[in-house]
Amino acid sequence: MGRSTVDRTVTRVGQAAARATDADDLLRLVSEEVRRVVDYDAAMWFGVDPGTLLPTAPARVEGDLLDSFCQPYWHGEFHAQDALLFRDLARAPVPAGALHGVTGGTPMRSGRYRSFNRPQGLDDELRVVFRTGDSTWGMADFFRAEGRPSFGADEVNLIRALSAPVGAALRMQAATSAAPWPVSAAEPGLLVFDRDDVLLSANAAAADWLRRAYGTLPGDNWVDVMRGDPVGSGLRLPFPAYPLLTRARAVAAGRDPGPARFRQRDARGRWLVLHASVLAGAGDEAVAVVVEPATSSDVAPIIIEAYGLTPRERDVVRGIARGLSTPEIAADLYLSAHTVRDYLKTIFDKVGVGSRGELVARLFAEHYADPMHAALVHAD
């Protein structure tokens, strides 16, 4: 596989990203392009909350991966030291790698191989994180069945080359505007799971929230955990909830710094938050999950990051959000007013706006109906 193949694939992936109608369509189109040049038997693709590195929607599962292995897969990710953990790839100089390659051809050294790959007849795997700069926006895991050739260095290099363009495309999907939540807050959804991720109880709002969050995703992206159906709704748990539950237990055990939460869009593009914690005195490793609308303080950081603002540009935006004038921002940041104006011009260009009011609207009001930030739109 030569350099020309890598360049052509990167170009086609960029063109596919430009055609995508939403984040789910983006993963579908990118998958089609990857399959042209990298043969695999199964795969998992998912978006990531860049603040917590927890998987979110969009999610895509390909091949015959069994639902029963979700729990050991994510348990190994947060509770064990292993090769090619996503959190390690997110910080590594090279954002991709193949299991056979990094274990010197002895994948049995990997706990994930023993608990997830081998029981399903899978052998080698190729993992990648999709990142731009220091921010990770998505992840993927490709598998080959036993008896098939391992992933080669040229295939790893090709997938590595897709990290930045796919990361940028996922980032821009996060930046698109959406209908805001009503100012009136709905009752949060509450779900309680036992140590085996079986749903023990849920309030009446839980089913509505999960339907809002995940709509009618294809069946392969859902796992049915309703044993007894405590809320009488036929509720189904989406794939991204499994790493959330596992992260909560890892945080409680002191194995992971957390937090066990992620932000994502619902089926209409509105932002919400899922967060989880282990319940004291409620059984061994029982976990409560709360689903509720994202506040402006939840949404603003991910939107700001989605536009690729530098740390200093983010400082300027925070000043604007506080209603500070240009001289006040300059004094607060120990900069000249001229420098702040230069930063503002760059920020406006990146976000695609022409004034402070438009900037605040794009970063806050278009994503969440918060009266405080709505007022800031007119505080030019």
pLDDT at 36 over 70: yes
Query: Which of 83-97, 167-181, 209-223 has maximum average pLDDT?
Result: 83-97
Mean pLDDT, to the nearest integer, of 363-377?
43
Residue type, 11: T
Nearest-angstrom CA–CA distance, 380 and 376: 8
| Residue among 345, 293, 33, 311 nearest 162 (CA) | 33
Asked whether 177 and 159 are in contact (CB, 8 A), the reply is: no
Q: Where are the beta strands (DSSP E) in the chain?
A: 42-48, 55-62, 96-98, 122-132, 135-145, 189-193, 199-202, 222-223, 237-238, 261-265, 271-278, 287-293
Please tell me the predicted confidence (pLDDT) of residue 377: 31
- Range in 66-70, 100-104, 254-258, 264-268 the model is least confident about: 264-268
Please tell me the predicted confidence (pLDDT) of residue 372: 31
Nearest-angstrom CA–CA distance, 369 and 181: 6
The CATH 3.30.450.40 portion of the chain extends over 3-175
Q: What are phi and psi of 56, to 5 degrees?
A: -135, 180
DSSP β-bridge partners for residue 191: 202, 289
pLDDT at 71 over 80: yes
Q: What is the DSSP letter of 114?
A: I
Strand duo 199-202 + 222-223: pairing: unpaired
pLDDT at 80 over 60: yes
Residue that wins the pLDDT comparison between 168 and 372: 168
The CATH 1.10.10.10 portion of the chain extends over 297-376
Mean pLDDT, to the nearest integer, of 69-95?
93
Long-range contacts of 297-302 (CB under 8 A, 24+ apart): 298/263, 298/271, 298/273, 299/263, 299/271, 299/364, 299/367, 299/368, 300/363, 300/364, 301/51, 302/49, 302/50, 302/51, 302/174, 302/263, 302/271
- Range in 60-69, 114-123, 132-141, 223-232 the model is least confident about: 223-232
pTM: 0.82
What is the Cα Rg of the chain in Å? 22
pLDDT at 221 over 70: no
Query: Which of 29-38, 284-293, 310-319, 321-330 has maximum average pLDDT?
Result: 29-38
pLDDT band at 364 (very low <50, low <70, confident <90, very high): low
* Average pLDDT across the chain, whole number: 84
pLDDT band at 375 (very low <50, low <70, confident <90, very high): very low
Which residue, chain included where needed, has tokens 């938050």? 273
Q: Order of strands, edge to edge, in the sheet holding 122-132?
A: 55-62, 42-48, 135-145, 122-132, 96-98
Token code pair at residue 153: 């260095």
Mean pLDDT, to the nearest integer, of 215-224?
42
Please tell me the predicted confidence (pLDDT) of residue 224: 41
pLDDT at 197 over 70: yes
DSSP β-bridge partners for residue 201: 192
Mean pLDDT, to the nearest integer, of 144-151?
97
Q: Which residues are CB-contacts of 152 (< 8 A; sequence separation ≥ 6)?
A: 1, 98
Please tell me the predicted confidence (pLDDT) of residue 359: 87
Distances 151 to 53, 208, 292 between C-alpha atoms, Å: 25, 42, 41
Nearest-angstrom CA–CA distance, 282 and 68: 24
pLDDT band at 162 (very low <50, low <70, confident <90, very high): very high
CATH number of 297-376: 1.10.10.10
- Please state which architecture CATH assigns to domain 189-294: 2-Layer Sandwich (3.30)
- Range in 35-49, 101-115, 306-320 the model is least confident about: 306-320
DSSP β-bridge partners for residue 43: 62, 142
- Written out in words, the top-level CATH class of the domain with range 3-175 is alpha beta
